[in-house]
Amino acid sequence: MDWEEAKLHADQVRKLGIQQLLDIWKRYRGNERDVLLWGDEIEYLVVSYDEKNKNARLSLRQEEILEALGRLEREQKETIAKRKAEDPNYQSEVPPKFHPEFGRFMLESTPGAPYGGNWSSLLTVESNMKLRRRLAKQHLGEHEAPITMTSFPRLGAEGIFTDPYFPATGSKSRSQYLPDELINLHIRFPTLAANIRSRRGAKVAINMPVFYDVNTPRPFRDPTVDYDRHLYPEDDDVRRGAVKEGHIYMDAMGFGMGCCCLQITFQAKNMSEARTLYDQLAPLGPIMLALTAATPIFKGFLADVDVRWNVISGAVDDRTEEERGLKPLKNSRYKIPKSRYASISTYLSEDPRLRPEYNDPNLVVNEDIKKELLDNGMDERLATHFAHLFIRDPLVIFKETLESSPEGLSDHFENIQSTNWQHMRFKPPPPGDSIGWRVEFRSMEIQLTDFENAAYAIFIVLLTRAILSYGLNFYIPIDKVDENMHTAHAREAIRTKKFWFRKDIFPPLHQHAHFSTSTTPSPTPILPPPLPVEDEYTLFTINEIINGIPPNPKSNPPTPGFIGLIPLIEAYLNTVNIDVETRCELSDYLDLVGKRASGELMTGARWIREFVRGHTEYMGDSRVGVGVNYDLVKAVEKLGMGRGGEVTGSEKLLGKWKGRK
């Protein structure tokens, strides 16, 4: 349905969605003792080289590639089934899965089966990622390669950046830069792009600050904007001031949804643990975004940011002018402060450590939905969370789904839920399956190599175990998480910026201990009165958060120091039974994360930026030309394929090249 028609059904979809949510919640709220299962999602760009013209482009062969990979998966499964029939003891890994993504130049891969909570499975993460990359590579043409770059440097730049070439004239995006042909052909995706534009009443407008290099003209006015195009009514956007001075201008969903991310999903033992993990990981979102920074180039220009986040946020911002607060509310229901793609706006755990002050008192919620959830017995915080997600309209509606029974399904619920692209996602069990309550950690940028991707994935997994074991408390007011998200964008945020973080992350002494020495039940331990909320957190560098601050008893007043997340994980590893070889491999991963935080190793963003600035063809004018892009993509491909030894300067990114398997 196009937007004019879809919006008439929005309330109906929300109503059905809430009905489905309540069914799921009632059915699975009592889930207990689900084991730890987790998985990663790796997204790839498929590049196609034009060796004659030394150009690296995006390959638009997604359907053929996925078809081939799907065939492979089916064949492998059949072989395994056959072997199993012959030998019941035959053990085999489940073949990895590949999925379509928004961009027709993208692939997404997941392990065939989730990883478990045992140590040996952690050591299969990197090899599984490598296997997936190899499989993808095998199903590409000679001139094609999968790379794990967040954003294609010359996406939307002048000249040819897709294979095959298409002019940017499509009616779905109506973009000056991106042809509709680079959108996944499934009807859902072009409709999504068109409906976001229609709902908004204009094209999306993304402005990222340019990196002023020595020869960049000042002030920078994006030279690639065509103010004279009269193809669509939205061409007026640029004439009405959509372009900001000093910024790189982008005007289509593809700029954001064409980015690759590293996402991790965990299964929790029950709903309550999932809610705890959701809340505790939320303040880490911006920290991990800055730590994984890998996106310094947009549309062929070096940007003054290192991460992708705001580009995606702007690329799917379907809010009307009224919702954005530019006009008084008349046709729209709410003023909404953030895009659908943004950091979370409310904590949702029933943890007593969640002080009411941490949440936003002005949170926008759909009051009718909240009331319905409360009337059905859902608690205040969870009801608030979903009532907040349900302020959004469904963007893509398929008529046939409105006509069939919603029972036993989650499609309408997911229509709203999965188009709320927040940095954490709280995932109820899919109906009819044995999967439990899950939490998805979504802020990290994809890394150039699987070593790095495995390192960050494993870091987060280990961190969740430490959070649960030690009962850690990372709560800070939610608006400080937003502020950190903003800070994380800064170029070299790791080396130059400070982030809000909680000072004392441990539970108060004896909160859980009961040393009853008499026959009467022990009274609740007397806790010191809580600090004012503003005294609970302060500004830290990423290095301090990750590697810790030693206490200084000699300073005045004495400072208690801060443990640091890596020492904390190490303390956890020292508490559990873990074999020598696993421990050593995990040390390599923690080492990488620690050295990125300290600045000893470069982030992907810094490495890419320095690669460009050090390239002989770069003119110091912020422009990343075809030749520079070609060499960069080639280098990135080598890094990804485990041939980093051939890439000059790879040790600045990865440390001593270990010739990893």
Burial category of 164 from C-beta neighbours within 10 Å (exposed 0-12, middle 13-18, buried 19 and up) = exposed
Closest by Cα among 631, 602, 603 to 616: 631
- Least distance in Å: CB of 574 to another protein? 5
C-alpha distance from residue 146 to each of 98, 106, 181 (Å) = 13, 9, 19
Task: For another protein, give the closer residue by CB, 573 or 639.
Answer: 573
Do residues 322 and 329 touch, judged by C-beta distance below 8 A? yes
Task: For another protein, give the closer residue by CB, 151 or 547.
Answer: 547
- Least distance in Å: CB of 268 to another protein? 9
CA 296 from centre of chain: 17
Task: For another protein, give the closer residue by CB, 54 or 583.
Answer: 583
Task: For another protein, give the closer residue by CB, 521 or 532.
Answer: 521
Q: Is the dihedral of CA 155, 422, 146, 489 positive or negative?
A: positive
C-alpha distance from residue 292 to each of 289, 421, 472 (Å) = 5, 19, 23
- Least distance in Å: CB of 31 to another protein? 14
Strands 55-59 and 297-298: unpaired
Task: For another protein, give the closer residue by CB, 337 or 471.
Answer: 471
Task: For another protein, give the closer residue by CB, 80 or 113.
Answer: 113
C-alpha distance from residue 153 to each of 47, 248, 447, 627 (Å) = 11, 13, 15, 12
- Least distance in Å: CB of 514 to another protein? 6
- Least distance in Å: CB of 560 to another protein? 5
- Least distance in Å: CB of 426 to another protein? 18
Instruction: Give the CA count within 13 Å in the CB-facing half-sphere of 233.
Output: 4
- Least distance in Å: CB of 535 to another protein? 17
Tell me the C-alpha distance between 384 and 297, whole Å.
38
Closest by Cα among 468, 543, 551, 538 to 503: 538
Closest by Cα among 91, 90, 109, 89 to 99: 109
Which amino acid is located at 618 in the chain?
Answer: Y
- Least distance in Å: CB of 588 to another protein? 9
C-alpha distance from residue 78 to each of 88, 94, 149, 427 (Å) = 15, 11, 33, 31
Task: For another protein, give the closer residue by CB, 90 or 506.
Answer: 506
Task: For another protein, give the closer residue by CB, 144 or 273.
Answer: 273
Task: For another protein, give the closer residue by CB, 214 or 584.
Answer: 584
Helix (H, G, I), strand (E, B) or coil at 499: strand
Tell me the C-alpha distance between 598 and 605, whole Å.
15
- Least distance in Å: CB of 509 to another protein? 5
> Which residues of the shown chain bind another protein in the complex (CB under 8 A)?
33, 35-36, 116-119, 269, 465, 468-471, 506-507, 509-519, 521-522, 548, 551, 560-563, 567-568, 570-581, 583-584, 587
C-alpha distance from residue 207 to each of 285, 299, 344, 446, 541 (Å) = 23, 11, 22, 22, 27
Task: For another protein, give the closer residue by CB, 16 or 122.
Answer: 122
Task: For another protein, give the closer residue by CB, 496 or 511.
Answer: 511
- Least distance in Å: CB of 97 to another protein? 24
Tell me the C-alpha distance between 500 and 582, whole Å.
33
- Least distance in Å: CB of 370 to another protein? 32
Tokens of 156: 């939307």
Q: Is 156 left (phi over 0), alpha (psi -120 to 50) or beta?
A: left
Burial category of 513 from C-beta neighbours within 10 Å (exposed 0-12, middle 13-18, buried 19 and up) = exposed
- Least distance in Å: CB of 550 to another protein? 9
- Least distance in Å: CB of 658 to another protein? 13
- Least distance in Å: CB of 200 to another protein? 43
Phi and psi at residue 98, in whole multiples of 5°?
A: -120, 140
Q: Which helix (H) or strand (E) holds 264?
A: strand 262-267
Task: For another protein, give the closer residue by CB, 533 or 578.
Answer: 578
Do residues 69 and 75 touch, judged by C-beta distance below 8 A? no
Do residues 44 and 133 touch, judged by C-beta distance below 8 A? yes
Task: For another protein, give the closer residue by CB, 568 or 633.
Answer: 568
- Least distance in Å: CB of 121 to another protein? 10
Tell me the C-alpha distance between 420 and 424, whole Å.
10
Burial category of 150 from C-beta neighbours within 10 Å (exposed 0-12, middle 13-18, buried 19 and up) = buried
Task: For another protein, give the closer residue by CB, 8 or 35.
Answer: 35
Task: For another protein, give the closer residue by CB, 333 or 514.
Answer: 514
DSSP letter assigned to residue 168: S
